[in-house]
Chains A and B, each alone.
Chain A
Amino acid sequence: MATSLYSPTKFVNPLFVNARSHDKPLFDPLKISTSFLGSTHKLRPTSLQINHPTIHRRSAVVAVSDVVKEKKVQSSSNLLITKEEGLELYEDMILGRAFEDMCAQMYYRGKMFGFVHLYNGQEAVSTGFIKLLKKEDSVVSTYRDHVHALSKGVPARAVMSELFGKTTGCCRGQGGSMHVFSKEHNLIGGFAFIGEGIPIATGAAFTSKYRREVLKEADCDHVTLAFFGDGTCNNGQFFECLNMAALWKLPIVFVVENNLWAIGMSHLRATSDPQIYKKGPAFGMPGVHVDGMDVLKVREVAQEAIGRARRGEGPTLVECETYRFRGHSLADPDELRDPAEKAHYAARDPITALKKHLIESKLASEAELKAIEKKIDEVVEDAVEFADASPHPARSQLLENVFVDPKGFGIGPDGRYRCEDPKFTEGTAHV
């Protein structure tokens, strides 16, 4: 039942703007005023649409799968990647897969506990998007965040220790599987509530724009990616943020990892209109659908969406059709999903697909790929050993970090009230 969900349609693709350069770009009409934030004169310019017969709605709804497939057949060099890029993508996906498999092993051996949500099968989305980011760009994730962390550059050792609850973890063992934060790599969570990360990501994008426009840091063009699932797309916060991100033209990409299942609730049973990408244009941003099991297609769409955000053209909603090979979490018996569906997607394993592509287009040899796999195995093993050998948090760590003030309660590091410190009251206003 899931296979015929996305019938490929020949919609106009706003992302390939060069192909339509003689027309007005589809989302230009929305870029009316230069004022940063919603003021009363921001309108929906319906009149401008009438002259463009090819535009169905305010901004197009796109199903990239077939368009991209066609282009691939015609000129395979279009989509792609150099050898280095290919190997980088492959290594990242193998790291994600190997890490998650090791997590499952460790969980069943009792080294990991609580809620653990694995990302097997969805690696193409993480790799396809995150590998295009700079270090200063932000990624906001959900509880299925291990692979996002790894793709963003958090060391495997730090993530594994965190999952084991050791003090050498990236959050010193205080966060756990669902709350992986790394300020250094700009990976913000790790949120357990679905939909919670979306406004946070919108806030991060807001900060980027604020820094550029109000604090005058002219080179600040940081982009934020918000990853979330199909279940979240029915949540109120999702729509609230689509509205505000489009309203204020924030540099954010909303990435939907539509794996068709929210624990045991099928997307089709939960959603009135299952085609999530259509919800973007309702709020004034392009909505794109892409095959999330193919890392190269994802990467191409990501490039355009991230570029759009970086140039200040506003948000994009990207729906990636993907699948998780394991259950929702390691505690999920996964009985409701049809084995035929699982087999269908297993045959489209993104790693196998990339491997095949690399070998067929002679970008890499079997031996090189095997070497990468071996290297990653060692990295993961090393991460486990490191985590095993790491100490548990000290008892004193229980009360630390509740507040920034080390003693809490408005008391600064020197033991006195902050507001009694003359420096705290510096910056006297000129009112």
Chain B
Amino acid sequence: MLGIIRQKMAAGVSPVMRIRPVVSALRSYSSAVKEMTVREALNSALDEEMSADPKVFLMGEEVGEYQGAYKITKGLLDKYGPERVLDTPITEAGFTGIGVGAAYYGLKPVVEFMTINFSLQAIDHIINSAAKSNYMSAGQIPVSIVFRGPNGAAAGVGAQHSHCFAAWYGSVPGLKVLAPYSSEDARGLLKAAIRDPDPVVFLENELLYGESFPVSAEVLDSSFCLPIGKAKIEREGKDVTITAFSKMVGLSLKAADILAKEGISAEVINLRSIRPLDRATINTSVRKTNRLVTVEEGFPQHGIGAEICTSVVEESFGYLDAPVERIAGADVPMPYAANLERMAVPQVEDIVRAAKRACYRSVPMAAVA
């Protein structure tokens, strides 16, 4: 049974997934839909992939006896033993390199960074040893490895723990970069990432770990996988396209609800895949709605929004009826104080305002310093 979900979203309905199963069984709708947190989704994905392939192993700080710094790897040490769930010393550069070396020789490591911020200490190996090796060796040395961890802002963790690296990794040829939002995304994309023969950077979000999403039976099947490089239209609309990834998808959906009450029908695209970017879906959507708002949590300069805007300008310029609006985090290191942090991260109101600007429903605002 193929694990692809096809969906139909009725516009304006709250974002519960309506699934059309491959074997049509209309009876099994809302009552059979289970809820699953993103944490459980990731845990089950890791569990199933480790069970299916003995070459998959985990390594990272606190993944074993501590059950995972964010409990993503809970129970896996007991199940698979210390040879396959490695607690490493605090040596990102060293153990990431060891993971890459193991991948050179055919194993499939899943390297966990306690937060993707710590991957900065290992970035040489992610980029120079992992991403570039297949190219430099002309195909002799594929590197099947997954680097995962929570990315972007959490709550009050300060500047060094809140940086979003989607744009950094998204610019490197040879890497695939994924950013899941819901539990379905988390399961499907992580399984696809582990099975993928190339290096994948998997950007999770700490605030989403505890959030629950409904999942269908297909998602729970152990062969479920999502395609890498395809975005998902979370909500269809016809007036403005809003692109987002990770936590911002949730905010965009809430903004879409608010906009719907004011008569603006917003189409929300969950990017899922930062690299490769699903330019086809984005452009098709913009050609339909003629207006675009990009939403991201990271810093604005050279960010994901900048790339999407350029892509749309290059391919669908004639279809744009308004300038592209870009919502990003404030161009400052993340402050600690709660009220300042709230100002530094996009909120639902910001997305609503940007959508209205794109629809010329309000007076354009001057650029904020």
A58 to chain B, nearest CB (A): 18
9 closest A-B pairs by CB: A203-B101, A199-B97, A240-B94, A410-B228, A425-B223, A181-B137, A419-B225, A240-B91, A200-B101
Is A23 part of the binding interface, using a Cβ–Cβ cutoff of 8 Å?
A: no
Is B93 part of the binding interface, using a Cβ–Cβ cutoff of 8 Å?
A: yes
User: A422 CA to B173 CA in the complex, in Å?
Assistant: 28
Most buried by B among A188, A191, A210: A210
Is B33 part of the binding interface, using a Cβ–Cβ cutoff of 8 Å?
A: no
B45 to chain A, nearest CB (A): 10
User: A183 CA to B141 CA in the complex, in Å?
Assistant: 7
A159 to chain B, nearest CB (A): 14
Instruction: Evaluate whether A431 and B47 lie within 8 angstroms (CB atoms) in the complex, with A37-B82, A38-B87, A417-B227 already known.
Output: yes
Which positions in B face A, CB cutoff 8 Å?
2-4, 44, 47-49, 51-55, 57, 65, 82-84, 86-89, 91, 93-107, 124-125, 128-129, 133-142, 144, 173-174, 176, 192, 195-198, 222-230, 276
Instruction: Evaluate whether A404 and B197 lie within 8 angstroms (CB atoms) in the complex, with A37-B83, A206-B101, A240-B94 already known.
Output: yes
By the criterion CB–CB under 8 Å, are A213 and B225 in contact?
no
Report which of B51, B91, B228 forms a contact with A429, defined as CB distance below 8 A.
B51
Report which of A204, A400, A424 forms a contact with B195, defined as CB distance below 8 A.
A424
User: A259 CA to B93 CA in the complex, in Å?
Assistant: 25
By the criterion CB–CB under 8 Å, are A431 and B89 in contact?
no
By the criterion CB–CB under 8 Å, are A428 and B88 in contact?
no
Report which of A38, A175, A196 forms a contact with B124, defined as CB distance below 8 A.
A196
By the criterion CB–CB under 8 Å, are B91 and A400 in contact?
no
B132 to chain A, nearest CB (A): 9
By the criterion CB–CB under 8 Å, are A410 and B229 in contact?
yes
User: A429 CA to B87 CA in the complex, in Å?
Assistant: 24
Query: For B135, what are the chain A residues with a Cβ–Cβ distance below 8 Å?
Result: 174, 401-402
B83 to chain A, nearest CB (A): 5
> Can you give 20 contacting A-B residue pairs, CB < 8 Å?
A35-B82, A37-B87, A171-B140, A175-B138, A181-B137, A191-B128, A196-B125, A199-B94, A201-B101, A202-B97, A203-B100, A207-B106, A210-B83, A244-B91, A400-B139, A401-B134, A402-B174, A409-B229, A410-B176, A431-B48
By the criterion CB–CB under 8 Å, are A214 and B54 in contact?
yes
Q: Which residue of the partner chain A has the closest CB to B131?
A: A402
Q: Which residue of the partner chain B has the closest CB to A38?
A: B87
B311 to chain A, nearest CB (A): 15
> From residue 187 to 213 of chain A, which have CB atoms closer than 8 A to chain B?
188, 190-193, 196, 198-208, 210, 213
Query: For B196, what are the chain A residues with a Cβ–Cβ distance below 8 Å?
Result: 405, 410, 418
Q: Which residue of the partner chain B has the closest CB to A207?
A: B105
Q: Which residue of the partner chain B has the closest CB to A416?
A: B227
Q: How many A-B residue pairs have CB under 8 A?
A: 214
Is A237 part of the binding interface, using a Cβ–Cβ cutoff of 8 Å?
A: yes
Query: For A175, what are the chain B residues with a Cβ–Cβ distance below 8 Å?
Result: 136-138
Is A408 part of the binding interface, using a Cβ–Cβ cutoff of 8 Å?
A: yes
Instruction: Evaluate whether A190 and B101 lie within 8 angstroms (CB atoms) in the complex, with A183-B141, A405-B198, A410-B229 already known.
Output: no
Report which of B4, B124, B222 forms a contact with A420, defined as CB distance below 8 A.
B4
Instruction: Evaluate whether A206 and B102 lie within 8 angstroms (CB atoms) in the complex, with A404-B197, A422-B2, A429-B222 already known.
Output: yes
User: A237 CA to B2 CA in the complex, in Å?
Assistant: 44
By the criterion CB–CB under 8 Å, are A38 and B140 in contact?
no
Query: For A236, what are the chain B residues with a Cβ–Cβ distance below 8 Å?
Result: 93-94
By the criterion CB–CB under 8 Å, are B82 and A203 in contact?
no
A225 to chain B, nearest CB (A): 13
B6 to chain A, nearest CB (A): 12
B7 to chain A, nearest CB (A): 16
> From residue 389 to 431 of chain A, which have CB atoms closer than 8 A to chain B?
400-405, 408-411, 417-420, 422, 424-431
A239 to chain B, nearest CB (A): 8
By the criterion CB–CB under 8 Å, are A237 and B93 in contact?
yes
B141 to chain A, nearest CB (A): 6
By the criterion CB–CB under 8 Å, are B93 and A214 in contact?
no
Query: For B198, what are the chain A residues with a Cβ–Cβ distance below 8 Å?
Result: 403-405
Further pairs besides A207-B106, A215-B55, A402-B135: 20, Cβ < 8 Å: A181-B137, A196-B124, A199-B93, A203-B101, A208-B105, A214-B54, A214-B57, A214-B84, A240-B91, A244-B89, A244-B91, A401-B134, A404-B142, A404-B198, A411-B229, A418-B195, A422-B2, A425-B2, A425-B3, A425-B223
By the criterion CB–CB under 8 Å, are A181 and B140 in contact?
yes
Query: For A138, what are the chain B residues with a Cβ–Cβ distance below 8 Å?
Result: 105
Query: For B106, what are the chain A residues with a Cβ–Cβ distance below 8 Å?
Result: 207
Instruction: Evaluate whether A202 and B138 lie within 8 angstroms (CB atoms) in the complex, with A210-B107, A214-B54 already known.
Output: no
Q: Which residue of the partner chain B has the closest CB to A403?
A: B198
By the criterion CB–CB under 8 Å, are A204 and B104 in contact?
yes
> From residue 8 to 63 of chain A, which have CB atoms closer than 8 A to chain B?
35-40
User: A202 CA to B49 CA in the complex, in Å?
Assistant: 24
Instruction: Evaluate whether A204 and B139 lie within 8 angstroms (CB atoms) in the complex, with A244-B91, A431-B47 already known.
Output: no
Instruction: Evaluate whether A196 and B128 lie within 8 angstroms (CB atoms) in the complex, with A183-B141, A410-B196, A429-B222 already known.
Output: yes
Query: For A39, what are the chain B residues with a Cβ–Cβ distance below 8 Å?
Result: 65, 82, 87
B291 to chain A, nearest CB (A): 27
By the criterion CB–CB under 8 Å, are A427 and B53 in contact?
yes
By the criterion CB–CB under 8 Å, are B4 and A401 in contact?
no
Most buried by A among B53, B84, B227: B227
Is A179 part of the binding interface, using a Cβ–Cβ cutoff of 8 Å?
A: yes
Report which of A37, A198, A215, A402 forms a contact with B86, defined as CB distance below 8 A.
A37
By the criterion CB–CB under 8 Å, are B51 and A431 in contact?
yes
Query: For A329, what are the chain B residues with a Cβ–Cβ distance below 8 Å?
Result: none
By the criterion CB–CB under 8 Å, are B54 and A199 in contact?
no
Q: Which residue of the partner chain B has the closest CB to A244?
A: B94
By the criterion CB–CB under 8 Å, are B83 and A241 in contact?
no
A149 to chain B, nearest CB (A): 12
B211 to chain A, nearest CB (A): 22
Is A130 part of the binding interface, using a Cβ–Cβ cutoff of 8 Å?
A: no
User: A226 CA to B352 CA in the complex, in Å?
Assistant: 56
User: A405 CA to B197 CA in the complex, in Å?
Assistant: 8
